[in-house]
Amino acid sequence: MASAPPPRDRGDFEIAVTCALSLEAKCVYDALDKIWDDKKYGKAPNDDNAYTLGVISEHHVVLVHMPGMGTIRAAYAAGHLKMSFPHIKLALVVGICGGMPRGTSNEEIVLGNVVISKALIRYDFGKQYPHGVQEEDGRAGHSRSTE
């Protein structure tokens, strides 16, 4: 299998993979055939994302490491990605990322399934803590504990 030549600049990257959790990112990292020096290609000013740049087969791939889960963090990550890598044509969200596909199917989605979707709906309505789950009720700043 032939590998892609080194990219000329950030414009040569057309595939992005975003992961909210380090375990998810590690799995994608392990799938990269070669790692490019991210310092050589840089990123846009004020871009706070951390990236791993690599290649899978003949495709230059940007692995976006989010600092954690959450819709606000995801929105910032996507915006900064677009600033730094303006020619991304395919963006993948890998892992659970607190989301699920939008659709009308009643089929169960389980770990290991591959889901292709054009949209996501919010599925994380709280956080697990040692003392119990703290649910959000949908209103900004309002939550309740379910100990």
Domain-wise residue ranges, the chain: 10-146
SS3 content of the chain, % helix, strand, coil (to 5): 20, 30, 50
For residues 80-107, give the mean pLDDT. Answer: 77
Q: Given this model, what pLDDT does residue 113 score?
A: 66
Radius of gyration of the chain from Cα atoms?
Answer: 17
Q: Given this model, what pLDDT does residue 55 score?
A: 95
Q: State pTM to two decimals.
A: 0.69
Q: Cα–Cα–Cα angle for 57, 59, 65, nearest 5°?
A: 105
DSSP state of 82: H
Distance CA 27, CA 5 (A): 23
Distance CA 119, CA 121 (A): 7
Which is higher by pLDDT, 108 or 8?
8
CB 12 within 8 A of CB 85: no
Q: What are phi and psi of 69, to 5 degrees?
A: -80, 165
